[in-house]
Amino acid sequence: MAETKTYTGGCHCGKVRFEVKTDLSRVIACNCSICSRAGWLLAFAPAEQLTLRSGEDELSDYQFGRKRIHHLFCTGCGIRSFSRGTAPDGRETCAVNVRCLDGVDIEALTITPFDGKSL
């Protein structure tokens, strides 16, 4: 059964900090060009469930392809803690890099491969 919890997280240098309510029962390892190179493990949440606590002025935006996803990264350390975009159903959503969440044991998670390379 899925359980939504509140997690805190951020970038490497600590300038970007956020809080997100999400469910880690389904974590995605996407093989697309950006996720595979960055080593992202993704969890998704509605946009209103992610609150930026600090570092808004430190974020820069990278887009590619169809430019539907805002890959935000810290200008200080370069870490991409989360992205913002639109889900297939049209709702605003965010993708959180689970590796950037505080206190999460990655080894304890069930990670599902996703073939983003074929999209």
- Give the tokens for residue 22: 């999400």
Percent of the chain past pLDDT 90, that is, above it, reads 79
pLDDT at 119 over 90: no
pLDDT score at 65: 79
pLDDT score at 64: 86
Q: Cα 71 from chain centroid?
A: 9
Q: Which residues pair with 111 in a beta bridge?
A: 27
**Mean pLDDT in residue range 71-91:** 94
pLDDT digits (tens, 9 = 90+) for 6-25: 999 999 999 999 999 999 99
Q: What is the mean pLDDT of the chain?
A: 93
- Give the tokens for residue 9: 């997280």
Question: What's 4-118's CATH class?
Answer: mainly beta
66 — pLDDT class (breaks 50, 70, 90):
confident
- Give the tokens for residue 52: 């930026």
Domain boundaries, the chain: 4-118
pLDDT score at 112: 95
pLDDT score at 61: 94
Q: 7: part of which helix (H) or strand (E)? A: strand 4-10
β-strands 4-10, 42-46: how paired? unpaired
Q: Please, are residues 27 and 109 in contact by the beta-carbon 8 Å criterion?
A: yes
Residue with tokens 């370069």: 78
